[in-house]
Every structure is written in structure tokens, then in C-alpha cells.
Amino acid sequence: MLIHEHSRPGREGAPQAPAVKADVSDIPQQLLRQGRAALPEVSELQAVRHYTRLSQKNFAIDTHFYPLGSCTMKYNPRACNTLAMLPGFLARHPLTPDRYSQGFLACMYELQSMLCEAMGMAAFSLAPMAGAQGEFAGIKMISAYHQANNDDARREVLVPDAAHGTNPATATMCGFAVKEIPTLANGDVDLDALKAAAGPQTAGLMLTNPSTLGVFERQIEKIATIVHDAGGLLYYDGANLNAILGKIRPGDMGFDVIHTNLHKTFSTPHGGGGPGSGAVGVGERLKPFLPLPIVAEDGGSFRCLNEQDAPQSIGHLSAFMGNAGVLLRAYIYMRMLGKSGMERVAEFATLNANYMMAEAKRRGFQLAIPDRRASHEFIITLKKEASELHVTAMDFAKRLLDLGYHAPTTYFPLLVPECLLIEPTESEAKEALDGFMDALEQIREEAKNNPELVTGAPHTLPVKRLDEVNAARKLDLAFKIEEAAPR
């Protein structure tokens, strides 16, 4: 039932607002709302019970092993939440002058510095509110750089065909044409194709390393040389940073601009789909173009740079400080990890992924890229099971839910048919990994002996398999209760 269906006219909770509506007769009548917004009227207990019970229908990291590839579902330490919500941060208005906000700005400044160190970049901006916005900032900076050099012919951005969909979408949003570069079967970018494609029309290349195929781009230095020699810049999509944190840094690989996903690598909460943060870092060349605000230190105190300080900045991406609360959580996480902790992240994330990959192979599953090391994630293809047993990756995913596991990422990257992209993260104990592999084997057995169990899954969740076609054909996007009568 929807909360709206618990609604009864006149019902309300304990007073959360003034009991009597103040006089608004000084407002011209034709500008006032006639009648009341048709919002649900419920008691506080009804609301609390409803949303508590709804929460219990969710799978979450706190309740289930969640090996969702490319999403880095690691444990979200609760201290990050409690400390980010201390009243001194929580009640602060974003337009409070800098001199009264030194505690907050100190945290932001140190976060910028730590990100520079961890990523090997010269400067960072915390402005972008999600990875996609970070990408946008990165490509926009590349555009601004070429424009500043009067290099107007560079209208093309190169993107590997295995790239996440945000990459080409971002390039288009910035007014570029997109050219796709093929990926080879071993997971590396096709260097010959890249050489042929790079030229005076190239603004840059967007790349992630390790790639979306779960393997390290071994020829990264050659790639960097090809693109830089052609006069283009190199953009790093930080989605897979968890694989290399403390081992190798994007700046050292030759990237000119990177975005990080603080909600992946730095464990800010996924929250059912957000808020994220896509802090963006640059080398010296792109420093003048960083989006605002940036926190600077000036004789022991902190302040936000503005347009006068940064005349070539690409500008603002939000009205205020981006997702400030998320930034605080990332800061707290990084302080708790510290140098030693940070250097262990990639180690255990990669160990867990390679262990699962070896187990997958041992148990007879087909690896998409069998002869390479896994990064922090790896891919199984269920092509064989699909053709022999007539069960798809989707069916496997749904049956995993019944067995108490959130499914891995399915059907991404698009290049691998019937694939599962599995990312355990460093947070999980060996038993969780073994249990998951056992579950995969069990499903394969069921597919042979009792296929309905798999193709009809899930069976034990609040709903069975949902009709997405119907949802898209007969759009039902909002519930309308009758307009309430004016009081």
C-alpha cells in the first residue's frame, strides 16, 4: 500500500508546525493557492511504520553481500554519518562568511590535499556532485584549455567501446563528437585503432584504468604518448580507483584530469541512488580551469576562491558547496583509513576479486578474460549456460536474490554477452565470498534439474519478477488523490 492509501482527511501527527495558519491576506488573491496540495494526511505512527516496513523490503550492504561490479559496495562506517551531522556542520548556512566557517573549510581543504596526494594530481575541486558531473567538469576543462590555446579544430573526443555510458553522453553534452575505439579480446584498447584515430581533431581520450573489463590497461604509457603527441589530453574515469589506491596513481600514469567517485572509493553512502560526489583533480596544465568553489589557505586561515581569483575557471556546478555533507563523510573516512589503511584497500579488494575469479574457474564457470589478473572486479560470461540450459544472466541474478545475495552487475560491459561483473570489495570476509560461489554453483545445478526455480526467480521476495514492458508502455508515474477541499 502507498502512504497515500493510509491517508484520511483531517488526520495529522503531533504538531510539527504552528497550529494556526498565519494571515497571508497581504498577498494578492490571484497569486495564492486555491485549495490545498493533495498530499497524504497520516499520523506520525502511520508514517514511521510505513517507512520502516518499506525499508525492510530493501537489500543493502548492511544486510546482504552486494558484489555489484563497478559500484564498490564496501562497508559505510557509521562514524562518518554521526560526525558529519554534528550541529556545527549541520546547522551551518552555506552563505555564512568564510571567516566564521574555519572548521568546515579546514576539513574541505585537507580533503582536497589528501585527494591530490592519493591521485598524484596538482589540484582538486570538490564541486561536482556526482561522477557524471565530475566527468562533465573534466571534459569542459579540456574544452576550455583548447579554446584558451585557440585550438578550435579539436571537436572530437575518443572513447573506448567498453566505456560506461556516461562517457559518450558527457562528451556530447560538452559539444563534442564521439569516436569509439575498439577493445581487444584481452581487454586492452586497440592501439592501432587509437593511433589511426588520434590527430589534430582530437580534444582528448576518456579512459578508465583498470578498464570496465576488470583488467589493467597495460599499455597506458603508450596510450598517453599517442594522445599527447596528437595534442590531446587524457581524462581518467575514476570508477575503478578501488583497484589501485595506494599502488599506482592516475597522475603518474599520465592523466591530465581525473574524476573520483567519493561514493565508491571513499565509502560515502549510496543512499538508494545518491547523493554521490565526483571530486575532480587536474595536473598543472588544467589548474586554471577548475570549477568553483575551491578552498585555499591564506596565512593560516581558509577561504573559498571566487571568480576574481580564478578568472579562467569553467564556473560553478551547483548553487553552493556541492554535496558538502558527502564531502565531510569522505574526509572522515580518509582520516580513519590513514596512510596505512589507504595502502591496504586495493590489496584486499584485488585479493578478494582474484580469489573469487580463481574459484569461479575451478568450479567450471567461464571467465570473460581468462588469462589476466583481475583488478578489483572480474567478469563471468554465462553464454554457455544460456545456450545449453536456456537460463540467462538475468535469471541467475534473480535467483541469487532468493539465496540471500544481491546480484552482481549484469549486462555491463556491453561487449561481453550474458555477463556478471563481480566486485567483492575489501570489506568482505572469505566466508561471504565462498558462500556466493556456492550459490552460483547451486543455481547452475538448479538450471539443469529444476529450471523453473531459476527462470521463475525470485520466489521469496516481496514481489515476483516485474513487468518492465508494461511499466514503459502504460506509464504510471504518480498517484493522484482527489484535490482536498479548502479548509
Contacts of other proteins in 117-156 (CB under 8 A): 117-118, 120, 129-133, 135-136, 140, 143
Strand order in the sheet with 409-410: 366-367, 378-381, 419-422, 409-410
Least distance CB 79 / other proteins (angstroms):
5
Residue 185 binding other proteins, by CB under 8 A: no
Contact 277, 253 (CB under 8 A): no
If you search the block for the grid coordinates 592523466, which residue do you land on? Answer: 255
- In our burial notation (b when 16+ CB lie closer than 10 A, e otherwise), range 341-376 reads ebeebbebbbebbbbbbebbeeeebbbbbeebebbb
Q: What is the DSSP letter of 413?
A: S
Closest CA relative to residue 227, chosen from 249, 251, 196, 263: 196
Quick check: 214 binds other proteins (CB under 8 A)?
A: no
CB of 374 to other proteins, least distance (A): 8
Does 445 help bind other proteins (rule: CB under 8 A)?
A: no
* Interaction residues for other proteins, span 275-304 (CB under 8 A): 275-276, 291
Q: Based on the shown chain and the rule CB under 8 A, indicate whether residue 370 belongs to the binding site for other proteins.
A: no
2 near other proteins, judged by CB under 8 A: yes
Supply the minimum distance, in Å, between the C-beta of residue 224 and other proteins. Answer: 11
10 Å CB burial of residue 99 (0-12, 13-18, 19+) is exposed
For residue 467, state whether it binds other proteins (rule: CB under 8 A).
yes
| Selected binder of other proteins within 8, 48, 384, 445 (CB under 8 A) | 48
- Under the criterion CB under 8 A, does residue 485 sit at the interface with other proteins? no
Residues 11-40 that bind other proteins (CB under 8 A): 11-13, 15-24, 26-28, 30-34, 36-40
For other proteins, which stretch binds (CB under 8 A), given 228-236, 243-251, 279-287, 444-452? Answer: 243-251
Contact 35, 485 (CB under 8 A): yes
Gap between the Cα atoms of 428 and 75, Å rounded: 9
Residue 40 neighbours by CB under 8 Å, 6+ apart: 2, 3, 4, 6, 7, 481
Q: Looking at 273, 299, 300, 364, which residue binds other proteins (CB under 8 A)?
A: 273
Q: Is the Cβ of residue 79 or residue 153 nearer to other proteins in the bound state?
A: 79
Under the binding rule (CB under 8 A), the answer on residue 438 touching other proteins is no
Give the SS3 label for residue 470: helix
* Gap between the Cα atoms of 355 and 409, Å rounded: 18
Q: 109, 124, 216, 365: which one contacts other proteins (CB under 8 A)?
A: 216
In the bound state with other proteins, the residue whose beta carbon lies nearer, of 248 and 389, is 248
Question: Shortest approach of other proteins to residue 442 CB, angstroms?
Answer: 18
**37 Cα distance to chain centroid:** 35
Q: How far is CA 380 from CA 310, 356, 363, 387, 451, in A?
A: 47, 11, 12, 15, 20
Q: How far is the CB of 231 from other proteins (least distance, A)?
A: 20
Query: Which of 111, 138, 158, 164 is the binder for other proteins (CB under 8 A)?
Result: 164
Which one among 199, 430, 445, 448 touches other proteins, defined by CB under 8 A? 430
Q: Does 181 bind other proteins (CB under 8 A)?
A: no
Question: Per CB under 8 A, does 259 bind other proteins?
Answer: no
Name the residue nearer to other proteins (CB basis): 9 or 150. Answer: 9
Taking residues 59 to 78 in sequence order and writing x for each that binds other proteins by CB under 8 A, - otherwise, the string is xxxxx--x-x--x-x--xx-
Least distance from other proteins to the Cβ atom of residue 261, Å: 10
Q: Quote the cell numbers at residue 373.
A: 589478473
Positions 313 through 352 that interact with other proteins (CB under 8 A): 314-326, 328, 332, 334-343, 346-347, 350-351
Q: 281 near 258, Cβ under 8 Å?
A: yes
Which of 270, 303, 399, 444 touches other proteins (CB under 8 A)? Answer: 270
C-alpha cell recorded at residue 333: 573516512
Site stretch for other proteins (CB under 8 A), options 167-175, 198-206, 280-288, 379-387:
167-175
232, 155 Cβ separation under 8 angstroms: no
Question: Per CB under 8 A, which region of 109-117, 200-208, 383-391, 418-426 contacts other proteins?
Answer: 109-117
Separation of alpha carbons 171 and 135, rounded Å? 9
CA distance 144 to 148: 6
Say if CB 158 and CB 152 are below 8 A apart.
no
Judged by CB under 8 A, the residue of 191, 246, 288, 389 near other proteins is 246
Q: What are phi and psi of 457, to 5 degrees?
A: -70, 155
**Shortest CB 381 distance to other proteins, Å:** 18
478 near other proteins, judged by CB under 8 A: yes
Which C-beta is closer to other proteins: that of 449 or that of 474? 474
